[in-house]
Amino acid sequence: MLLRRSGVPLLALALFAAPVLGGCGSDEPEESATDLLDRAKQTLDEAESAHFVLDSEGAPTTGTVLVGGEGDIARPASFDGTLQVLALGSTLDLAVVSVDGTVYAQLPFTSGFTEIEPAQFGFGDPGDLLDPETGISQLLAEAGSAELGEERRVDGEVVREVTAELPGDLVEQVLASEDPSQPVQARFSVAADSGELRRAELTGPFFADGEDATYILELSDFGADVEITAPATG
């Protein structure tokens, strides 16, 4: 699994404005839901970097769990940002850097970075999120029963919603699941022109068997000039 068990909202999610009204008058056939997700996967797999914000609803309030995060991910396998971790009843903001499979964090009451095992803090390696084999784009590839939803305009950009169903065992690898046998309901938002995945909202039994919770992942700044290096430790 890569990122798991987020719970406290990281930022307000009043993302969408009113639906786009009217058509463009084109006689071209409408892109199917599956074709749109395929285009979104290809676009994500070709992106050298992206900025992400992770949020969720319905996570537990005890234990050691990831409750939010924001940062930059870059190929081939690096991350630089802040992850919010619930531990011992308090939410900690951890500065985290991942480079080529090694994860570093600035722990509370320390002035520098330490190499860590991320599973001890309730998450996996965030540097893997752009990997086509283990990251976000495999969710797009394995989406079943895909159906087109509404078009909406967000910050001047038209995005198209796609609802789909994902295998629970696959979502467990990327995020978490207390019952991988149960499918996860997905709502993707894809920029109509660029094909960039803007938002993935996933609902399933992430934290308790038989109880649904929701993960929300937002992506932006595809291809930005991002340089991530391993921090000094000690």
Task: Look at residue 226 and tell me if it is in a domain.
Answer: no
- Comparing 7 with 109, the larger pLDDT belongs to 109
pLDDT, tens digit (0-9, with 9 covering 90-100), for 186-232: 999 999 999 999 999 999 998 788 889 898 999 999 999 999 999 99
Q: Looking at residue 90, which CATH number applies to its domain?
A: 2.50.20.20
* pLDDT of res. 1: 61
Task: Look at residue 155 and tell me if it is in a domain.
Answer: yes
Distances (CA, A) of 100 to 79, 104, 151, 192, 214: 9, 11, 38, 33, 29
* pLDDT of res. 30: 81
pLDDT above 90 covers a percentage of the chain that reads 63
**Mean pLDDT calculated for residue range 10-31:** 50
Mean residue pLDDT of the chain comes to 87
Distances (CA, A) of 32 to 22, 187, 234: 18, 15, 53
* pLDDT of res. 41: 97
* pLDDT of res. 22: 45
Task: Look at residue 38 and tell me if it is in a domain.
Answer: yes
* Overall domain count for the chain: 1
Task: Look at residue 13 and tell me if it is in a domain.
Answer: no
Task: Look at residue 203 and tell me if it is in a domain.
Answer: yes
Task: Look at residue 20 and tell me if it is in a domain.
Answer: no
Give the range of the structural domain holding residue 116, as residue numbers without chain letter.
Answer: 33-220
Task: Look at residue 117 and tell me if it is in a domain.
Answer: yes
- Comparing 200 with 21, the larger pLDDT belongs to 200
pTM higher than the cut 0.75? yes
Task: Look at residue 85 and tell me if it is in a domain.
Answer: yes
* pLDDT of res. 3: 65
For residue 28, what pLDDT band results from cuts at 50, 70 and 90?
A: low
